[in-house]
Structure 1
Amino acid sequence: MIYFDNSATTRPLDEVIQTYIKVSKDFFGNPSSLHTLGMEAQVLLDKARKMLADQLQVKTKEIVFTSGGTEGNNLAIKGTAFARKNRGGHFITSMVEHAASYETFLELERQGYEVTYLGVDNNGQISLDDLEKAIRPDTILISLIHVNNETGAIQPIEAVSNVLKHYPHVRFHVDHVQGAHKVPLNLAKLRIDFCTMSAHKFHGLKGTGLLYVKEGNRLGPLLHGGEQELKLRAGTENVAGVVAMAKAYRLEKEKSSVGNQKLTKLKEKLINGLEVIDKVRVNTDVESSAPHIINFSVGHIKPEVLIQALSKEKIYVSTKSACSSKLSEPSRILVAQGLDENEASSGIRISFSYENTEAEVDIVLSHLHKIIPDLLKVHG
């Protein structure tokens, strides 16, 4: 099996699974309980929070545990709307956000808020001039995806952070779900107020994530009930999932320096191999994208046809975001980059992890060189 769909989800590391099992069995108490089992669970939760805070170089009280990227993005965006409604009702985002943010903004518009959607260039990046022109006195939040989940395009987060130093009334949220480890952010130095991460994108388990909330920022909770997570996220904490996430984050960070160099080589090798195949268009710009995501289109071939042909060879790739892959319309992301409807409807995404190898890339390219010409004869 060759698994090239790591942007959809990664395979949990064995060490992470073993950690989850041990905590689930031996430390199953509710952290809010006052007995010994509860206090032991609370100690583990505190240790995991400190470990993640240390790795991210932020304060422990700035880490809020969530169920993953979707909840984190919703909490940052809607939470700002709830907490700052008296300050204004204008938001700025881009046309290439993950559905977890994009659909949230559409919902806010239905509730009467105003949203400016920034366009992107052919490489999938916003213009800083457009961003600054869009800022208004009633702008309360700018929310941008760091690494695009379909194309790998990197938004200029550091440059945006510098711009926002002149606009203290505007909060800044970054969807860092695809960027964790692959394209690091220095939260301690950048002017970022909220940052979303999800464990299953770096070999943790599904159903766990975190939202960085810079000290001094207010959010309105989505869930009401108990006082867990600074009253921002009511509900009994997923202690086993959180501890496993902390371990996964640490293990991946240890691999990241060498691992990202390896990913860059894999990416270059794959793109070079794709560019010589007839009717293939690479939609990912090499220079302005993350090392682990490549998007390409193939003539008028429906992406599901190519995906199923590769699946028969036990090669697993995807189309669009996993959250939207079952929708038949053209990719919103590729349309925003200027592709026509046919090209935007045939996008294929290949995404690597540190576990992938050059030999796997060679095998996949070999199959693509055979499969694509055959499919073009039928689907042209």
Structure 2
Amino acid sequence: MIYLDNSATTVPSEEVLEAFVEANRKYYANPASIHLAGKNADNLLERSRKQILSLLEAPEGEVIFTSGGTEANNLAIIGLAYANRAKGSHIITTRIEHPSVLNAMIYLEQMGFEIDYLTCDKQGLISSLELKEKIRKNTILVSIMHVNNEIGTVQPIAEFAKIIKDNSRAVFHTDAVQSYGRLPISLAGIGPDAITVSAHKINGLKGSGLLALRKGLVIKAVSFGGGQENGHRSGTVSVPNAAVFAKAMRLISLEDKTTSNTHWRNLLIDFMKNFNDVLILAETSGAPHILSIAFNKIKGEIAVNFFQENGVIVSTSSACSSKSGRASHVIEEIDIAERFKQGVIRISFGQNNTEEDIFEFKKVFNKFMKLLGRGKTNDME
């Protein structure tokens, strides 16, 4: 089986799995306990936190461990909004964010906050001019994702950060779930003040996420209990999960596949242009590891099932919305022709892919298009 759905989730690395088992054997104690076993667990937890902050170039910052990217985004949006409410109630985000951001924004609107939603062009790019027009002196929070999870568009985060800092006192949050380990992102210099990362997107384990904050950033808790994670996120912290999260971040930062991913994406773009009934999404703005395309008057689910039957795993535009049967909010926002909206599939590369996988994908794709009697075919050389 060839797995090309790494934006949905990645295969846990053997190093991560082995470290998880070992950590559960040795550091099973509650890190909040005052006995020696608890202190040993807490020491490992804090070492993991420091390693992550070092990787994010913010040694004096803060890491809050969560159950995943969704919880981390919820904590960032709601927690930062309430922490800064005395300064204003205006928030900016985009119409193409992950549902964990958009639904948190809907909640804040119900609580009396004013939300402005930035639009995008056909490539999925947010306009820096629109951001500058919308931002105000009383804007307290801006949340813009780094890499779109459905079509792969890369936003100019540093440019946005400068606009935000020059025109407001707003906190800048970035959902970096699809970008960490694949594109440069950190809390250093001109950039975001808060970053969301998810472990299972970088060959780590599901059920592990984090919100990283610059030094001095104030945030309110959105869940309540025993006051763990400096009062920001209550509940017994899983030390093994935290330790192997740090390990996954170290491993992926050491193995740079950007060059091969870019090469594969370009190969597939050139290949797709041989077919008349295929639309390439975010062709010029996409991240190296994501390529989304749309078929003319063919449902994406049909293509996904055909590829699976032929040993290749891809997805529709987003794993989070793939079962709904409707065009996603991102696909609607980039305003492609109606005949393509139901036909989106996403190909996403990971650490375990090879060029042979790309060649095999092309063979299956050719087979699919021949079966449909669609467009031109490639000679496969």
Deviation readout 1:311-348 (Å, 9 max, x if unpaired): 11121100122111111221211221121333222110
Aligned positions of 1:1-380 closer than 5 A: 1-59=1-59, 61-256=61-256, 259-286=257-284, 288-375=285-372
CA–CA separation in structure 2 for the residues paired with 1:118 and 1:193: 19
CA–CA separation in structure 1 for the residues paired with 2:82 and 2:340: 39
CA–CA separation in structure 2 for the residues paired with 1:342 and 1:230: 51
CA–CA separation in structure 2 for the residues paired with 1:335 and 1:210: 30
Deviation readout 1:120-144 (Å, 9 max, x if unpaired): 1111111111001101233211100
How far 1:18 moved relative to its partner?
Answer: 0.6
Q: Gaps spanning 5+ residues in structure 2: where?
A: 375-381
Question: Could you state the TM-score of these two structures normalised by the residue count of structure 1?
Answer: 0.95
Asked if structure 2 preserves the Cα contact closer than 8 Å seen for 1:298 and 1:346, the reply is yes
1:345 partner SS: coil
- Give the partner amino acid of 1:356: N
Asked if structure 1 preserves the Cα contact closer than 8 Å seen for 2:157 and 2:191, the reply is no
Matched residues, number: 374
How far 1:375 moved relative to its partner?
Answer: 3.4
Deviation readout 1:182-225 (Å, 9 max, x if unpaired): 11113211242211000100000001111111122211111111
Asked if structure 1 preserves the Cα contact closer than 8 Å seen for 2:300 and 2:343, the reply is yes
Q: Gaps spanning 5+ residues in structure 1: where?
A: none
How far 1:376 moved relative to its partner?
Answer: 5.5
1:263 partner SS: helix
Deviation readout 1:272-306 (Å, 9 max, x if unpaired): 111212311111223x2210000000111111111
How far 1:168 moved relative to its partner?
Answer: 4.2
How far 1:62 moved relative to its partner?
Answer: 1.4
CA–CA separation in structure 1 for the residues paired with 2:60 and 2:80: 21
- Give the partner amino acid of 1:174: T
CA–CA separation in structure 2 for the residues paired with 1:127 and 1:65: 32
Asked if structure 2 preserves the Cα contact closer than 8 Å seen for 1:331 and 1:347, the reply is no
1:166 partner SS: helix
How far 1:358 moved relative to its partner?
Answer: 1.1
Percent of paired sites with the same residue: 37
1:327 partner SS: coil
2:166 partner SS: coil
**CA-based RMSD:** 1.4
Asked if structure 2 preserves the Cα contact closer than 8 Å seen for 1:196 and 1:212, the reply is yes
Asked if structure 1 preserves the Cα contact closer than 8 Å seen for 2:57 and 2:187, the reply is yes
Asked if structure 2 preserves the Cα contact closer than 8 Å seen for 1:164 and 1:191, the reply is no
Partner of 2:379: none
Question: Could you state the TM-score of these two structures normalised by the residue count of structure 2?
Answer: 0.95
How far 1:93 moved relative to its partner?
Answer: 0.7
How far 1:170 moved relative to its partner?
Answer: 0.9
How far 1:60 moved relative to its partner?
Answer: 5.3
CA–CA separation in structure 2 for the residues paired with 1:56 and 1:328: 38
Between stretches 98-107 and 246-255, larger displacement belongs to 98-107
Asked if structure 1 preserves the Cα contact closer than 8 Å seen for 2:279 and 2:294, the reply is yes
Between stretches 110-119 and 302-311, larger displacement belongs to 110-119
How far 1:81 moved relative to its partner?
Answer: 2.1
2:144 partner SS: strand
How far 1:37 moved relative to its partner?
Answer: 1.2
2:264 partner SS: helix
Q: Cα–Cα, structure 1 residues 131 and 168, in superposed 2: closer, same or farther, change >3 Å?
A: closer
Deviation readout 1:247-282 (Å, 9 max, x if unpaired): 1111111102xx111111111111111121231111
